Amino acid sequence: MGGLESDSAHHALSISGVSIDTRTIRAGNLFIPIIRLDNGHQYVQEAMDKGAVASLWQADQPNPPEGIPLIKVPNTLKALQNLSKAYRDQLDVKVIGVTGSNGKTTTKDMLHAIASTIYKTQKTIGNYNGEYGLPLTLLELEEDTEVAIVEMGMSHAGEIRLLSELARPDIAIITMIGVSHIANLGSKEAIAHAKLEIVAGLHQKGLLLINGDDPVLAKALSELDLPTSIRTLRFGGAAGNELYLLEQKVTDTTLHFRTNTQHEYVLPMLGNHNVLNALAAIASSSELHIPADKIAAGLLQVVVTEMRMQRIQTKFGYTIINDAWNASPSSMEAAIQTLISLSGYKHKILVLGDMLELGPDEIKYHIKISESIRYDEIDYVFTIGPLSEVITQELFNRFPPSHVQHYENKEPLIDCIQHVLMKDDIVLVKGSRGMKLEEIVQRLI
């Protein structure tokens, strides 16, 4: 971290770990006050009271507290990032970077389950995948960690480049290209190029894995002047990929599939789309020299992160699929198709919220979602939010009046669902992060 200043009286301080949030302070931490919606500098004293032993301080911030070990830096966020890069550079660890419009977290979880069968493995926790979160993830790595799986999220061009240069992955994965954040980037082509920034920090002899079924991603890769020492591998459903599906079978609780390597795998998950995420995890694991039997054993142990096609069996006898973490047109359609494919339920119910950050065509994307919903496959559709209203409008002439309703607020929607839901029913709850539809799920459990 260039430009550090500190009081000489505190040079011998021993620091263990970092935190940017006083709610997560542990004894011995370095507190890093970040300026976001709130200014972290006003919490420095609280951090010290909770066990921090020192704090960074941004040089342009007034009134630094006295009697506290402070390290003055030009910019605290940049200092956090530089500190994480310096630490990562000291570690003998294989880093796998995962990005993509959908499937990042699920792929990360699969990789963690597989790699943990033979390596000491750590992964991004929660949503720590951006300019603040990824540095914190790197700084949480234990010195003897052998494999680290780091998720990389973005909303603008240039962000993945930064994250890749910090993490310096040995393996980079791009799951797929969708239209999330198209309002910021303008086109799917621009999103693909932004995701391909992951090669910026990729090891000079590293491996780039891409979804070969995605034509936009494949074209963007062909336009990239990639160093010849970097290898590429395409995974997907089509036979033109290096790793592809030969067959798959779906049950109400598992996904069974076989690849062109003639290995068979079972995933205890919902959603056909997750098979492609599994292919990315399998290819990465092979690069780490993990045997096929260990890969299969790891996939059987995958624990789905909450709110990602999370199946919840309630005490009332009905089932909830909680997919409320986020939503895009591709993930929304995939979730709906998963619900349609399930058998053994009296009624299938959709609770859909707005898909956000879709730009000027946001209404068209919501209308298109309605085209995949039929009354002979779905029994009830409830929507919430100004954008999702067009879904119910499109369905009014295809559903009985009482079976399709729109709400602007959660309370009346929850009341309606509770009156409709019965034993042996299943309900899918999905919407963008800003809709906070997990609040509905909590009331239904």
pLDDT, tens only, 41-92: 999 999 999 999 999 999 999 999 999 999 999 999 999 999 999 999 999 9
Q: Which tokens hold the place of 43?
A: 């919490």
Q: In angstroms, how far is CA 411 from the centroid of its own chain?
A: 28
Tokens 């190029």 identify what position? 193
Nearest Cα to 280, choosing from 195, 175, 196, 202? 175
Query: pLDDT per residue over 310-365, tens digit each?
Result: 999 999 999 999 999 999 999 999 999 999 999 999 999 999 999 999 999 999 99
Does residue 368 register a pLDDT over 90? Answer: yes
**Residue 432 identity:** S
Last residue of a domain, one of 277, 300, 323: 300
**Residue 12 identity:** A
Q: What is the DSSP letter of 289?
A: T
What's the CATH number where 364 sits?
Answer: 3.90.190.20
Domain identity same for 274 and 329: no
Last residue of a domain, one of 43, 76, 109: 76
Does residue 381 register a pLDDT over 50? Answer: yes
Q: Which tokens hold the place of 325?
A: 């973490």
Straight-line distance from the first to the last Cα atom of the chain, in angstroms, rounded to the nearest whole number: 48
Domain identity same for 216 and 154: yes
d(CA 163, CA 85): 10
> 168: alpha, beta or left, given left = phi > 0 and alpha = psi -120 to 50?
left
What's the CATH number where 35 sits?
Answer: 3.40.1390.10
Residue 304: what pLDDT? 80
Domain identity same for 181 and 228: yes
User: What is the domain range of residue 125?
Assistant: 91-300
d(CA 67, CA 225): 53
C-alpha triplet 253, 255, 258: angle, nearest 5° = 160
Asked whether the beta carbons of 320 and 348 are under 8 A apart, the reply is: no
Residue 9: what pLDDT? 52
d(CA 441, CA 67): 48
Percent of all residues in the chain with a pLDDT value above 90, rounded to a whole number: 93
Radius of gyration of the chain (CA): 23
**Residue 202 identity:** L
Domain identity same for 203 and 273: yes
Q: Is 144 helix (H, G, I), strand (E, B) or coil?
A: coil
Domain identity same for 120 and 153: yes
d(CA 84, CA 166): 7
Quickly state the pLDDT bin for 2 (edges 50, 70, 90).
very low
Q: Which tokens hold the place of 274?
A: 């997750």
Domain identity same for 250 and 139: yes
d(CA 282, CA 294): 10
Query: pLDDT per residue over 132-150, tens digit each?
Result: 999 999 999 999 999 999 9
359 within domain boundaries: yes
Domain identity same for 40 and 99: no
- Encode burial over 87-105: b for 16+ CB neighbours within 10 A, e otherwise: bbeebebbbbbbbbbbbbb
83 within domain boundaries: no
Tokens 């963007």 identify what position? 220
Domain identity same for 184 and 235: yes
Domain identity same for 153 and 285: yes
Count of structural domains, the chain: 3
